[in-house]
Amino acid sequence: MNLATEALKKVNDARENAGMAPLTELPKGRRDASYECPIARALSKDDGCVEALTHYANFDNPAYAFAAAEAWGGMPIEELTVTIPMEIRHFISAFDDGQFPELEQETSG
């Protein structure tokens, strides 16, 4: 299993635990952009957003933060902050290093 597949599985664990439909693939995103990377976009709900950093995610909804933490085998660090699983950490680092060009959103300009 590659890093993107492992990360998608963990993302879907959180989504499903929060009552959201699973994704079949990670969305495209921007490197070094915590609100616009594939993980942040995959975790974000239609009515909110998630900031995905290398070691934790900031959710805008405490119930969703708790659901994600529960799915990932932990508890929120703070009301809206959750430690992310190693699989997602590895993917974010690899994505930011340019190892997934197929998941990079094209920039206009």
> pLDDT class for 107, splitting at 50, 70, 90?
confident
Domain ranges for the chain, please list them: 3-100
- Residue found by looking up tokens 């942040």 in the block: 40
Per-residue tokens: 52: 């995905």
Residues 6 or more apart in contact with residue 68 via CB below 8 angstroms? 14, 17, 18, 43, 57, 59, 82
Q: Which pTM does this prediction carry? A: 0.91
Identity of the amino acid at 48: G
Residue 42: the pLDDT is: 95
Please write the tens of the pLDDT for every residue from 40-49: 999 997 766 8
Per-residue tokens: 35: 């609100």
> pLDDT class for 106, splitting at 50, 70, 90?
confident
